[in-house]
Structure 1
Amino acid sequence: MKKVIYIILGISGFAWLISNGNAQVVQQKPTTDAKITVCKVKSPTFVKNKFATDKTNIVANKGGKLQNMVEIPAGTFIMGSDEYPDAQPKHPVTVKAFLMDEHEVTNAEFTQFVKATGYKTVAERPLNPADYPGVPIENLVPGSAVFTPPTGNVGLNNHLQWWKYVAGANWQHPKGPKSTIKGHENEPVVQVCYQDAVAYAKWAGKRLPTEAEWEFAARGGRTSGRYYWGNTLKPNNKWVANIFQGNFPSGNTVEDGYKELAPTKTFPKNPYGLFDMDGNVWEWCSDLYRTDYYKSSPKLNPKGPSSSYDPEEPNVEKHVQRGGSFLCSDQYCVRYVAGSRGKGETSSASNNLGFRCVKDKN
């Protein structure tokens, strides 16, 4: 049997088959959003990620200038949402006080990290031909998922119509080799997978937030409301988060002023002083993802399950993502609803996925 490569969008379960220099769709599933990873298979079954290992020794930053952090007080809240099965049941959770980045990690900050460490993100690392016998070397080009809206109206049951695998897409070139982050230094860094976010956090002397910490901080002390900012999607007739307006995915009316990424701190901060806890980019959390975790989650400082499980892709390790992105709308991926969850394969990246960090309060 001829061996092939599947480029798999880890959250969605669809793939491009690359064997003879041409990409074709081999599998599809509906999804809420998409992230990308690469694996080797002998049949349409996930086996194992085959990314090259980065050998960089990450040493904590001892004085570099990083964004401000705000103190999040200790408290108890009701975690979860009745609108989504994987966010049920709603349950009481108590978290201790901690510090959180006031905004998502920016291109400028990630550049500082890369210059200090020489780190290569997963999307930049070359693939080892030995892991892909029978596949032409010229096809083994690292890249990532890029939102590419269609030219006209399409149905919402096939996300391959707006997600494309782009060779050469990475954090420095978020939409492919011809794109750049120059002039976008204050926008969130994207095309970073979980591994990349953890590496940055370690260098910065921080860590990724737990899912409970993230939701508690996003709620900002509010005890009710469909959204983190209240009950109305557009309070006082003003957009308060960078999300998708119009007919998804092709008819973005850009009512909020941004077709895709917005600079950090563009929209109003929440009561705790945090920006963009909804929209702009999805944010990695430290928790492994399980659909059933809330049934047994500890009430005090939960840190997530010991293993990952998603019935849509039971053999794929995933981590929780929170907050939605500039692609979420009231038509598709309504994950700006308070308590809602996202998920992504550990090595996945896309141009609507970033992160922020937290730190224990001494």
Structure 2
Amino acid sequence: MDDALDRLRSDAIATAAGTVVYVLPEEGPHGRPVSLIEGFIPLLVNFTDEDKAAKGLRVFADGAPPPVPQHFSAVEMVRDHALLLLTGESGAGKTSFARHLAWQIAAGENAARIIVRNEAGDMAAEVFDSRNLVPLVIEAKAGFALTALIDDRLPGLSDLLTSDAWRNGSASLLLIVDRIDALHAAGPQMIDEVRRFQAVTPHLRVLLLGDSRIVRDWSLPADLPRHELLPLLQSQRRAAAPEMPLTALSPITANPALFGARLEIQPQTEPETEEALADAWAYALSRQLGVAPLAVIREALAGLTDRAFEKHDGIVKRLATGGRRVSTLLAAHELYLYPPAEAVALYRSNPLDVEPLMQALARRLLANGREVAPLLEPLMGGSGDMPFQGALLATEFLPQAPELHRHALPLLLSIVEDGRLSAYRRERAARALSRLSDPRDLQALADIPGGAFTFGSATHPNSTPAHPVTVDAFRIGRYPVVNADYARFVAETGRLWRSPEANDPERRNAPATDLTWHDANAYCAWLTLKWRAEGRISAEDVVRLPTEPEWERAARGDQPDAGDETIVYPWGIEFEPDACNSEEAGFNRTVAVGLFPKGRSPFGVYDMAGEVWEWTTTLWGDDMTTPSFQYPYRDDGREHLKAGPKIRRVLRGGCFSSGKLKACTTYRGSLEPDGFWRGNGFRIAVSPRRA
């Protein structure tokens, strides 16, 4: 067994040493290759210390802004999860991370290293103790079972891992499955196979890596931890290449593959687009290899499609260094020379794989003053999901091609309202709708009938006992208050709003966040006067925050208590990952409201599980863990609106980082009234003025 483990370690070290991540234009006609060991930049993920703290809804200092969040590293996510799915865009560095992590483990690199955590430059140690851990990197391939892939790397290894010798040994294996996106629709089956193999294999940890564009379309187990690799920070790029001019630290070089390409060239003028950077890289490569630039460009297209051109081994090797991201950009250069109908046919033959190529082609057409409608309009026809996929592909280009709006807008609206395609693709559609002034009525109200209903649950001590509560009829916002509406309030009143998304044109239809309880109340008072003047509500009506029972009534409807172990969701008692923006959805951020129509409450109210924690008027107390105002609900001063700044208010619904135990109709959260963060929002209630 020791011989097998030593071989795995040796392979990991040799692979990393032999992997070139970029070639610096110096030291000879072909430049200086930089290996993965020397050139790797630690990667961060979309999970922060703030996200981790907010799972318990941390305490804020009175009126003080929260600190700049610090991101966890990809290594730390591997450390903290026995099974993990890491995704990233094309060129995000997934394969490089897999090989470098394997080298780090095999070489015994256990010393804590200080890494950058955010754009503010905050630093912290990355700690990963890999002693007794052995790495194995495999690449997923369609039609091959997991054990076959393992044994292909080291014959007999799958049997060894289930043997008594392995079971009784001290070593653990980190199995890294790269390119899981290559399996397309069969990817979830591979994940199931991995989990079954892990269940019968002692001392086994698993990391899955895949392209987020593909993986996010899959229906994944609700309990599978997943995170997204982030683009490189400016501070990371500056540290890696201090000699690079500041103009090179543009958003396009935040992609690791494009950053590597930029390191390889010495342009006379700084490339301003991905296409220009790829072209400059191809021309530099052609000079190094003594070939025509067109040979590089054609080889890139050949590598992505079944087209055949004269093969040049040197070009193929260097294209591998540039990665799929650079190859796609160059392939679009070649495809640009063909009639649009040929590109359309190529797309229809393999939409998932060709989609990035079509987007790169459309950008190149626009950059050269050509129309994109002949390329994109045909994609919005056909049967099944084809028109909707085509509309999504076109979203990036709608600002420059208004003639496409009449085709795209109804398709995008249907994607969101009817819950078509995956949540990830619905989110893309909603961002486009935001830019086009989302035509939905996001201030719509739902009528909630009065009467008695079951309130509370035995599924958490703070929510027990379940008991009847009576509420009067009222109306409530079908959606949380969105950025566009809160921004109008801020524009008219000048109220301070700390949200970084306040002016993002793609996030106008996402919930307004970073709001205190006082902010929410001020908005309600402003909207009361505005709606009275417009005649939308009567002179006796007020806009306000809902009480805790009103919130639960709107979310739960008439659903009874379902027992000590059964959680009630707005849609029923069985959790559905595609019914809410909870931790299981994998976004780890707010998305456009109404994106999960399956999750509507019995009264047609959206986003009452996950998305954002929503303020209510009800008091909690001053202890974060245990409410002073416990159940049963009663008239004991818990609706007092003038309580002090240390008395916390009840939050309901959970947020994007809440798991299915909290993203439901009964779990109670709380926060001080001056607290705010990116996972807190609110929705309005409307009723006649109370005595």
TM-score range, shorter chain: 0.5 to 0.7
- Which structure 2 residues correspond to residues 140-179 of structure 1 after superposition, within 5 A? 170-171=498-499, 173=500
| Residue pair 2:55, 2:658 contacting (<8 A) in 1 also | no
The equivalent residue for 1:293 is 629
Cα distance in 1 for partners of 2:640, 2:481 equals 27
Cα drift, residue 30 of structure 1: 9.9
- Decide which structure has greater strand share: 1
Whichever residue aligns with residue 199 of structure 1, its letter is A
| Residue pair 2:545, 2:617 contacting (<8 A) in 1 also | yes
- Which structure 2 residues correspond to residues 261-340 of structure 1 after superposition, within 5 A? 261-268=590-597, 269-290=600-621, 291-295=627-631, 297-298=633-634, 304=638, 306=640, 316-330=646-660, 334-340=661-667
Is the deviation greater in 278-287 or in 215-224?
215-224
Cα distance in 2 for partners of 1:66, 1:336 equals 22
Higher RCO, 1 vs 2 (CA within 8 Å, ≥6 residues apart): 1
Describe the shift of the 1:315–1:37 C-alpha distance in structure 2 as closer, same or farther (beyond 3 A).
closer
Q: Structure 2 length normalisation: TM-score?
A: 0.32
Equivalent of 1:227, from 548, 554, 568? Answer: 568
- Which structure 2 residues correspond to residues 1-362 of structure 1 after superposition, within 5 A? 32-34=56-58, 36-38=60-62, 67-121=443-497, 170-171=498-499, 173=500, 181-205=504-528, 206-225=543-562, 226-228=567-569, 229-234=571-576, 239-245=578-584, 254=586, 258-268=587-597, 269-290=600-621, 291-295=627-631, 297-298=633-634, 304=638, 306=640, 316-330=646-660, 334-361=661-688
| SS of alignment partner, residue 327 of structure 1 | coil
Cα distance in 2 for partners of 1:112, 1:308 equals 27
Show CA shifts across 1:160-188 (max 9, x none). xxxxxxxxxx22x15xxxx9533100000
Cα drift, residue 264 of structure 1: 0.6
| SS of alignment partner, residue 578 of structure 2 | coil
The equivalent residue for 2:427 is none
Cα drift, residue 104 of structure 1: 0.3
Cα distance in 2 for partners of 1:67, 1:87 equals 30
Whichever residue aligns with residue 284 of structure 1, its letter is W
**Is there any run of 5+ residues in structure 1 with no aligned partner, and where?**
1-24, 41-64, 122-169, 246-252
Whichever residue aligns with residue 194 of structure 1, its letter is W
Cα drift, residue 263 of structure 1: 0.3
| Residue pair 2:593, 2:607 contacting (<8 A) in 1 also | yes
Cα drift, residue 90 of structure 1: 2.1
| Residue pair 1:188, 1:264 contacting (<8 A) in 2 also | yes
Show CA shifts across 1:256-293 (max 9, x none). xx341110111112221100011000000011114242
Cα drift, residue 355 of structure 1: 0.2
Whichever residue aligns with residue 192 of structure 1, its letter is L
Show CA shifts across 1:194-225 (max 9, x none). 01000001111110000010001100232245
| Superposition CA RMSD, Å | 3.1
Q: Structure 1 length normalisation: TM-score?
A: 0.59
**Residues paired across the two proteins, number:** 237
Cα drift, residue 241 of structure 1: 0.4
Cα distance in 1 for partners of 2:479, 2:53 equals 33
| Residue pair 1:97, 1:361 contacting (<8 A) in 2 also | no
Describe the shift of the 1:110–1:35 C-alpha distance in structure 2 as closer, same or farther (beyond 3 A).
farther
Describe the shift of the 1:109–1:273 C-alpha distance in structure 2 as closer, same or farther (beyond 3 A).
same
Cα distance in 1 for partners of 2:642, 2:473 equals 27
| Residue pair 2:614, 2:651 contacting (<8 A) in 1 also | yes
Is the deviation greater in 81-90 or in 201-210?
81-90
Cα distance in 2 for partners of 1:270, 1:354 equals 18
Cα drift, residue 36 of structure 1: 3.2
| SS of alignment partner, residue 239 of structure 1 | helix
| SS of alignment partner, residue 659 of structure 2 | coil
Describe the shift of the 1:35–1:70 C-alpha distance in structure 2 as closer, same or farther (beyond 3 A).
farther
Cα distance in 1 for partners of 2:645, 2:674 equals 14
Cα distance in 2 for partners of 1:79, 1:308 equals 25
Cα drift, residue 35 of structure 1: 5.6
Describe the shift of the 1:296–1:279 C-alpha distance in structure 2 as closer, same or farther (beyond 3 A).
closer
Whichever residue aligns with residue 288 of structure 1, its letter is L
| SS of alignment partner, residue 504 of structure 2 | coil
Calculate percent identity across the aligned residue pairs.
30
Describe the shift of the 1:100–1:29 C-alpha distance in structure 2 as closer, same or farther (beyond 3 A).
closer
Cα drift, residue 361 of structure 1: 5.0
Whichever of the two has the greater Rg, that structure is 2
Cα drift, residue 91 of structure 1: 1.9
Describe the shift of the 1:266–1:215 C-alpha distance in structure 2 as closer, same or farther (beyond 3 A).
same
Whichever residue aligns with residue 629 of structure 2, its letter is Y
The equivalent residue for 2:313 is none
Show CA shifts across 1:2-47 (max 9, x none). xxxxxxxxxxxxxxxxxxxxxxx9xx9996233633479xxxxxxx
Cα distance in 1 for partners of 2:59, 2:596 equals 25
Cα distance in 2 for partners of 1:316, 1:292 equals 12
| Residue pair 1:289, 1:305 contacting (<8 A) in 2 also | no
| Residue pair 2:463, 2:631 contacting (<8 A) in 1 also | no
Show CA shifts across 1:73-92 (max 9, x none). 01211211212222122221
Whichever residue aligns with residue 275 of structure 1, its letter is Y
